[in-house]
Amino acid sequence: MAMLETGQKGVRPHIELAQTVVAAVAELRQEVIDNFADGLRRKPDWESLARVKQWVLGG
């Protein structure tokens, strides 16, 4: 998210790695879901987090 917030390029490889890990390890998937939910509760208008959530979880 820091890369998105600062306008840096090269986010895709990080997202693809996160997608692979989340798909492979069920325990980590739930933890990632919980972390996204926590972040969006704290800052509901955090656009970068919402985008990353969409990319990583696909929904």
Residue 2 has a pLDDT of: 81
Domain residue ranges in the chain:
2-57
Burial class of residue 56 (count of CB atoms within 10 Å of its CB; 0-12, 13-18, 19+): buried
Question: CA 3 to CA 35: how far, in whole Å?
Answer: 18
Residue segments in the chain with a per-residue pLDDT below the cut of 50: none
Residue 59 has a pLDDT of: 57
Question: CA 23 to CA 46: how far, in whole Å?
Answer: 24
